[in-house]
Chains A and B, each alone.
Chain A
Amino acid sequence: MAADQIRVALIGNPNTGKTSLFNMLTGLRQRIGNYSGVTIEKKTGIWSLPKGQDVELIDLPGTYSLSASSLDERIAVDVLAGHGQSDQPAPDLIIVVVDVENLRRNLFLASQASELGVPMVIALNCWDVAEKKGLQIDCKLLEQRLAVPVVPTVAKYQRGTQELAEAVERAIDTRPMLVRPKWPEPVQKALDLLHQELVVERGESLREGELQRLIFDRKSAVRERLKSPAQEYEPLIKGVRDKLYQDGYQPDAAESLLRFRFLNPLFNDILERQALVKERSKSEGIDQLLLHKFWGLVVFVGMMYVVFQSVYTWAGPIMDLIETSVGWAQEIAANALTATPMLQSLIADGIIGGVGSFLVFLPQILVLFFFISILEESGYMARAAFLMDKLFQWCGLNGKSFVPLLSSFACAIPGIMATRTINDNKARMITILIAPLMSCSARLPVYLLLIGAFIEPKYGSAVAGTVLFVMHFVGALLAMPIAWTLNRTLNKGRKPEPFVMELPHYRIPQIQHTFFRMYESGKEFVMRAGTVIFAMSIIIWTLLYFPRPAEVESAIANDFGYAQTEDTHSLEYEESIHGKLANRVDAALLEQSYMGRFGEFMQPVFAPAGYDWKITVGVLASFPAREIIISTLGITYALGGEVDEASDDLRTTLSNAKWEHGKLAGKPVFNIPVALSIMVFFALCMQCGATLAVIAKELNWRWAIASFFTLTGAAWVAAVLTYQIGILFV
């Protein structure tokens, strides 16, 4: 990006239509990234002004103030002051997106931002709503009083963008500044003193607005950026604040009081008419039902049921389609590469199989983000959080964790991506870390197979159904103490973000925003498939494929050769023999592979849970994706890789499997405690490379690794306990 490119920052309260304005101005020319060091999403895009100039537009997180106590606010201050990423100077212009209906509150933010000394343009958004409600705001008058251009816009219908672009073009040259309050003498003195001490004497690079943050905010994040040692600036700031208090200005309250006192006269006459419209709003009427103590919950449960069901069922056919296509692609690749068996296996099984089994989740992601977008934009998401909040308070979470956790029952990946709607970073972290414990759909095949093979035949379908139901909540049960502990230990010093949430007016969602949201999440997901997942697939394939000693195949072929000669060969028989031979070879090669040897080596670790080496290999091979266990068990018990959970063959084979040696030799490998132990292991274990990759992306690799070991350890303990207690009853 050219160093001399004009940069424009977009700020505004949440729910002002800031993001839709951003999307509209930049179209698909956007980039999503994280602010350095933190995981709040950052978007930049290119906006072409009418005269042909391209400017970089930066979308800042929606905030109500710049008090820099929450992460969002801190980022906003840093970026606006030019202290964000090391190489980025302050933006050349700020566009403040203001919701006409909440002029007073929105202009407070604009006023705070103006203290950073950056030119400003105000976009009065949702102009249509104001017009409809008979709200007439004299833009020219407002413009005169505020001393910056005020442009009415309707982001929804793309109205006013041309005017906004022209105003921005002019403002780049004229650099208009918002009127700033004149502080009472004690406040001004405090500011001057701090300027002298920090900027003049210690050479800190601080703008006036940042000095204000140091004075007015009790725990300003601006402090963390100071170069001087804490023992120097802490007493300094404390002294200034104490002095202010003695002068009759409570520093924590002073800013709001003084700023609103300054702002109110500027538009109080303009707002008088606004007061007339502010009777009971339509939204409040709707909320009489949706937030009702009983009916509100009924609607909520119904709504969540629909979302959850849709993620499950709508995505189903498309997932099948992807699966079929992957199978197809594998076949084509396999046929094309028969001459080079190793390359054939790498491409067909390793890469296409591995990446394909990840891409299968794409439809679920799209469906979930379809709903999330609608729930958020309509304003219902805030209501859902409002209804659920109490249930989550005790472990440091809040109501906003509900939807991500619920979607994790379909798949943890979209669930973890959905945590971006949680603005409390600690709550978001906890939600991400417990999301993999929600029983995702990939665990279902494992449950179905084992319950079908061992529970149902013995206890009937009622018990089988109950076990299936219970298995779905084993993880959630463990999630509770984990969430509680994380809340106690994580960032001990930091209190959770205060839970203040706006219940915005209901709005009809815009279909183009919904599709945009789906496109964004889908794109990000597919990109990951191309990188991390691609690499992991190759590694796992290598471990399962090599070293592949040649003598294995011939030894087994010889074995079969003898048996074969004595029989008459019908074609059918011939084929089944070939199939069996291939299966036996596959099984033997798997046993000889690095993964197989590792499995045998690791078997003693899993012996207390009742697993033989074959189950151990299955468990180990399933770490990239848990559904692999089914095909791996198929291979190790010599059925061939092409099995699924309903395959009767696999069920019978498992029931007939006997220990080969050791003190249990001749006894069946699988009994009910073993089956339960495997299910419990799968319910808790972090066997999903894709989820790990997403956690690493949303938090960092350290957390991904920590969560891997914690959950795997917990799974092992629980599996051992299940087995050991189970055998007491058998």
Chain B
Amino acid sequence: MRLDQIKKDGRFRVKALDCDNECIARLMYMGLLPGQEIRLVHEAPLGDPIAIEFNGCQMSLRIADAAFVEVESL
């Protein structure tokens, strides 16, 4: 499952990331690494961007970038 496809309820874990995407590379510097627990907290009114929570902080990213993160349901 990809991060751009997940629903608001539920917890997920990062399976793999494509660090070719600059946005994802940045999130990795903030600690978004394989094995990290993650959840979707907000979606903007037009469905894009989204806000995710990990490690106690909320980061927003665009749907197009979120597609580069592979997650699994917990």
Contact = CB atoms under 8 A, between A and B. Distances in A.
A287 B45 contact: no
Interface string B42-60: 1111111101010111111
Interface string A490-501: 000001001111
B47 to A, nearest CB: 8
A256 B28 contact: yes
Given A105-B31, A500-B59, A252 B25 contact: yes
Interface string A123-138: 0000000000000000
Contacts of B67: none
A64 B26 contact: yes
B55 A105 contact: yes
A500 B19 contact: no
Given A256-B29, A260-B31, A293-B45, A503 B59 contact: yes
Given A105-B57, A278-B56, A498-B65, A296 B31 contact: no
B56 A102 contact: yes
B8 to A, nearest CB: 11
A257 B41 contact: no
A503 B60 contact: yes
A498 B23 contact: yes
Given A102-B55, A498-B65, A501-B60, A291 B22 contact: no
Interface string A300-317: 000000000000000000
A93 B62 CA distance: 37
B19 A250 contact: yes
B56 A390 contact: no
A69 interface: yes
A256 B29 CA distance: 5
Contacts of A294: 45
A104 B49 CA distance: 25
A627 interface: no
A291 B44 contact: yes
B1 interface: no
Contact of A502 (B17, B29, B59): B59
Contacts, number: 112
A390 B41 CA distance: 18
Interface in A445-499: 495, 498-499
Given A108-B29, A260-B31, A500-B23, A389 B49 contact: yes
Contact of B41 (A284, A389, A495): A284
Interface in B1-57: 17, 19-23, 25-31, 33, 41-49, 51, 53, 55-57
Contacts of A104: 31, 55
A391 B20 CA distance: 26
B49 A390 contact: yes
Contacts of B43: 293
A495 B20 CA distance: 13
B23 to A, nearest CB: 4
Interface string A227-269: 0000000000000000000000010110111001000000000
Interface string A374-410: 0000000010001101110100000000000000000
B60 A500 contact: yes
A499 B19 contact: no
A274 interface: yes
A108 B31 contact: yes
A390 B26 CA distance: 21
A65 interface: yes
- The winner among A274, A389, A502, A503 for most chain B CB atoms within 10 A is A503
- The winner among A382, A495, A498, A500 for most chain B CB atoms within 10 A is A500
Nearest to B64: A393
Contact of B49 (A105, A218, A284, A499): A499
B51 A386 contact: yes
Interface of B: 17, 19-23, 25-31, 33, 41-49, 51, 53, 55-62, 65
7 contacts: A67-B25, A283-B58, A387-B44, A498-B22, A499-B23, A499-B49, A499-B62
Given A250-B19, A386-B42, 8 more contacts: A67-B26, A108-B30, A252-B25, A260-B31, A284-B41, A386-B51, A390-B44, A500-B65
